[in-house]
Every structure is written in C-alpha cells, then in structure tokens.
Chains A and B, each alone.
Chain A
Amino acid sequence: MTDRDAADGAGPAAADPPVSRPVAELDDVTKQYRSGDEVIDALDHVDFAVEPGEMVAVIGPSGSGKSTLLNVLGLLDVPTSGTVYLDGDDVTDYDDEQRTMARRRTIGFVFQSFHLVPMLTATENVLVPTMFVRGNQRARAEDLLRRMGLGDRLDHRPDQLSGGQRQRVAIARALINEPRLVLADEPTGNLDQDTGRRILEEFERISTERDVGVVAVTHDDLVTEFTDRTVELIDGVVQ
C-alpha cells in the first residue's frame, strides 16, 4: 500500500516518468449503443487510467457500463469517441488484426465463468494463447500452475478441477504471455468467499510482483478490500 501511495504521488507531478506512464488509459471515451430508436451511453466521457502494479476495482450496478469499460480497455470493443492508450500507444484506430496482436502481447483476460477449453488439460489450457506462437512455452505454463498451487493438477481437465482451481488455471492462462495488463470480469463471481479471497490474493501478488496493472470489474465487496483504488460507474459516468 505504501508503494502505491508513492506512485500515486509521483504521477501527477511527472517527476518520475517511468513510473507515471499508465499501462492503459481512456481519454474522454464515450461508447454508445443503439437500441431501437434510443441511443444508450454505456460510457459517457470517461477518463480512466491504470498504472503498472496497480490494482483497480470497477464497481457499479448492472448496466452501468462496467463490462463495456473492460471491453474497451481490453481492445475487444472500440469507443464511439475518445482515445484509448495501451502502454503509451494510441490504439483507438487499430484494426482487428492489430487489436488481436496487442491483446496477445499486452493483455490477459480472466472471465467470471473461467471459459476453459473442456477437452484440454490444465497445462494445455494455459498454453491456449501461445498456440499459434513459435516456441515451446510448456515449462513456463507448468511453472505458472505450480506457483498457483496446482502442481499436482497439471494434466487434469477442467471437469476434474474445483471452481477455485479452474479460476487459477484461467489466471495462469492470462499470465502466459507476460501481459502488462490483466482484466478480470467478476473473477470471484462463481466462487465461494474463501476461494474468492485466495484468488484475489493471487491477483494482488501478480500486480505487485510482476508490475502488472489489474482491473477487476465486480459487484463483490470482497474485491474492493484487495484493490488499491475503486472506481464507481453509474450510467456510464465515473462517480
């Protein structure tokens, strides 16, 4: 926590540029959806930034634009207006191919319902993002799983794992490409309190040890206990 305070202090002053550069940033981003004749502002002139090593919770009622924020940050969706920066690069106008490659390089995803591939083992699931990348990452994947406490589950398939174990496999998958940013959509949504706590400790460890920015969208109060900062969204507006 003290590290984080120091970083926050250095940011606005720009005294220490390497620390202050956000890993991802939204600048005046608006995202509109058309629903019949109505236009809905899922995000309404949102400014948002994640520093390396920072863990941010995004909370808000359902329909408040949390998921849209995550999708825009994760380059899964493009804003109607505004600018998106990833690692200092303006990625707003990237095409699908460029966005996919940026996701592969820089971003790790963790989903509420894990979304593991059922017929692949834990190790193979972790390797999914590297599937079409040259070089054997198996050792690294196994190492990640061991560090998640799954050393004895490397060759188990998802249906042989508990919810918490599955989510840890999913986290390992998010980390295999050494991302700068990890985005988690309700990471504890399908887990009991204790398991959720262990998963959040895992996120905290990743964020500080690897200097990764973590953004978790949630409406679980437990998550906010672990994050450095909480951003509340209501009707697409940061409160």
Chain B
Amino acid sequence: MIDTPALRMAWLNLWRNRLRTGLATLGVVIGVVAIAAIGITGTAIQVGATQQLGDLSNTVTVFPGEDNTDGVITDSNVNAIERAAAGATVVPQRSEAMTVSSRSESRRVTVEATSNPAALYTAAEGTIPSPMRSGVLLSQSMATDLGVSLGQTVSVDGRSYRVVAILEPSGGFGPGGVSVVLPLDAIDRDGYDQVTVVAEDGEDAQRLAAVIPEEVNQREEVVDTFTPADIQQSISGFFATLNAALLGVGSISLVVAGVSILNVMLMSVVERRAEIGVFRAVGIRRREVMRMIVAEAALLGVVGGLVGVALSLVIGYTVNAQLLGSPMLVFAPRNIQFLALGFGFAVLASTLSGIYPAWKASTANPVEVLRG
C-alpha cells in the first residue's frame, strides 16, 4: 500500500515513453524465454529419452566380483541377495556356450538357463511357463535363423526341447540380448553366473545395487552389481549439465537485458532531471525518489517477465505436444520452477538495474537541476 504512489508514478513514466519502454521490455522477454523455454524444452527432451530406456531400468544385475575366485554366485549368496532385496523378484541365471540346432541349421551361442524367465522376458508368441521346467524360449531372430516356429523342437547340445515361446525383442540395454533360454537344470552345475533382481523402479534398483553387495560381501568382493538405472542417472546428469549450461546462456541474456534497462533508466532520469528536482524541492525525500525510480525498473521486469512467461508457456506447450504428445506436461512442477526462475531473475535483474539510476536521481542537487 505504501508504494502505491511510487508505482503509479512509475507506471505513468513508463507509459510516457512507450516505445523505449517496449524495447527495454523486449530485452527482458527474450531473457525470460531463453531461461524458461530452454528449461522446458530440456525437460521434454529428457522425459522423451527416459521413456526410450523404459522399463529396463528397474533391474539389477548381480555378477561375481573381483575377489570371487570360483567365478560363481553360490546358493548361499543367492539367499543373501534375497534377504537384501526383500520384496523384489530374484532370478538366478546360468549361461554357457552351446550348440543349438534344428533339422537344417546349427548355431553355437550363449545359452541362458533360469527357472523364472517370465520375470525377465515377455512372449511375442506362446506363453512363458512359470516356473520353467521344460521347453526352450527362442528369440525371434534365432527362431528365424534356425527356421523353426512355435511348437517345433530344437536340440541343444544333443538334447531335444520343444519351443514353448518366441520372445519379444526388448530394446535398449540389459538382458534383452539373449537368444536361447532353457530351464535351470539344462546347465547342470553348482552356483550361478549371474542373478537378476527386478526392483519396483529405477530408484529402488539403484538402492538395491548398493545394498546387495553390502549384504553379500563380507571382507571380499564376492559379487558386484550393475543397473541400467545408473545409466539413466548418468543421462539425467548429462541433461542436468546441459540444462545448466543453457540456463547460463539464458541468464546472460537477462543480464544484458538488465544492462539495457540500466541504460534506459539512466537516460530517462537525465531527461527528467528538472521534474525530479521539483519533486525534491517540494519535499519529496531522497528515498521516495529512489523508490519511484526503482519501482519503474522493477515494473519493467514484472511486465517483461509476465510476457516472457506467457510466451514460454506457448513454446513449452508446442514442444511438449510435438515431442511427447502431451502438451499439458508444460505444467509439470519442474517447468513451473523454470518459469518462476525466469520471472524471478527478470524482476531481480531489472530491479538491481534501477538502483544506480535511482540513486543518481535522488542525490542530484535540486538547485542545479532547477537552474537548467
């Protein structure tokens, strides 16, 4: 309430020089758009990239560690992993190079053996038995190579298995590269080559990737872990860095806008010297003059900031519609943060730019000013 007169004078003074005000505001608008629109676009790209990685990122692969001389994960290790990963699905796996052949073709590939493939793979054709005690799962490309289809039999190292499911190709990283899956007993030896833990989500996966070695390893590194969630986090980190760099560029443009406001305000203060001198003469205090001029600069920031936020919303709406197909994502909390950041920085830079001209105006000697 106290600053109503200062704000009103500020508004009138800005209105008096509409063109100049408009140009100074344009600088602020560009700055805000640079910060907010770039931030929002960055978020959209990141969300898009994360969507591509998809559901793989919730698995943790446990494999023998450096100090594991036997190179296998024992049953007691698996028990420890199950203790550590309570609630998550634990899938021990063995793998070995074997010869897979149909009547016409033969391939030597790494075969995987597990009792619970349903937790890891989805079937394109047929069904994955759970638990799996018989049969074989083939990847689509392996089935094509061998020239077999669902229900036919293939032989693996001389033993015959019926094809019970063809696997859906899974993109990205992780256990998708498998071509032949057998029941666990098919590779008959002690221990496992790796254990896959299916966690609830990426965050849980990262937690388990840290917790499991702590639980299993006593003094020696018997097991180590890997999770695509880590990759996802690196990708997030990369985008965060990229965004920070772009925001830096945006901030610079707002600083430039601030400098142009400083320039405009200095000019306008010099032009209004006589008027300010009269204000001082009729008993308006230095700080009141300062408040008027700072309010003017701040108002430039607020107006430019609002226009910039509106423009950024339009841009963000379009980008989210194009990239992700859901334009309303522009109102995600993170984007609101970018908008608030752009707006806040605009007001801050403008207000700071107003301080020096305001100080100059308020300390001018009214006598000299009125003489002119």
Contacts and interface: CB of A to CB of B under 8 A. Distances in A.
Contacts of A115: 274-275, 277-278, 370
A96 B288 CA distance: 13
B282 A103 contact: yes
A132 B5 contact: yes
Given A111-B278, A115-B274, A100 B284 contact: yes
A173 B283 CA distance: 11
Contact of A111 (B16, B279, B280, B370): B370
Given A97-B286, A119-B16, A103 B9 contact: no
A104 B289 CA distance: 14
A62 B6 CA distance: 37
Contacts of B288: 131-132
Interface string A85-122: 00000000000110011011101110100010111100
B281 interface: yes
B285 A132 contact: yes
Nearest to B15: A119
B193 to A, nearest CB: 81
A76 B367 contact: yes
A205 to B, nearest CB: 21
A173 B370 contact: no
Contacts of B286: 96-97, 100
Nearest to A114: B278
Interface residues of A, number: 29
A109 B281 contact: yes
Contacts of B281: 74, 76, 103, 109
Nearest to B5: A131
A77 B274 CA distance: 16
A11 interface: no
B283 A71 contact: no
A70 to B, nearest CB: 10
Interface residues of B, number: 24
B277 to A, nearest CB: 8
Interface in B284-335: 284-286, 288
A163 interface: no
Given A67-B371, A119-B12, A129 B282 contact: yes
Contact of A128 (B282, B285, B366, B371): B282
B278 A120 contact: no
Interface of A is mostly: mixed
A167 interface: no
Contacts of B280: 100
A120 B284 contact: no
A123 interface: no
Contacts of A100: 280, 283-286
A43 to B, nearest CB: 13
A104 B282 contact: yes
Given A120-B12, A131-B9, A132-B5, A104 B283 contact: yes
Nearest to A116: B278
Contacts of A71: 367
A129 B274 contact: no
Contacts of A185: 370
Interface string A211-227: 00000000000000000
Interface string A148-176: 00000000000000000000000001100
A188 interface: no
B361 to A, nearest CB: 14
Nearest to B9: A131
Contact of A97 (B9, B277, B278, B285): B285
B275 A117 contact: yes
B285 A101 contact: yes
A177 interface: yes
B12 A129 contact: no
Interface centre among B12, B278, B279, B367 (most CB of A within 10 A): B278
A119 B274 CA distance: 14
A119 B366 CA distance: 21
Given A67-B371, A111-B370, A115-B278, A131 B284 contact: yes
Nearest to B279: A128
Interface centre among B277, B279, B280, B281 (most CB of A within 10 A): B281
23 contacts: A67-B371, A77-B367, A97-B286, A100-B284, A100-B286, A101-B285, A103-B283, A104-B283, A104-B284, A107-B283, A109-B278, A109-B281, A109-B282, A111-B370, A115-B277, A115-B278, A115-B370, A118-B16, A128-B284, A129-B283, A129-B284, A173-B282, A185-B370
Given A115-B274, A115-B370, 13 more contacts: A67-B371, A76-B367, A76-B370, A97-B285, A100-B283, A100-B285, A101-B283, A128-B282, A128-B284, A129-B282, A129-B283, A131-B284, A173-B282
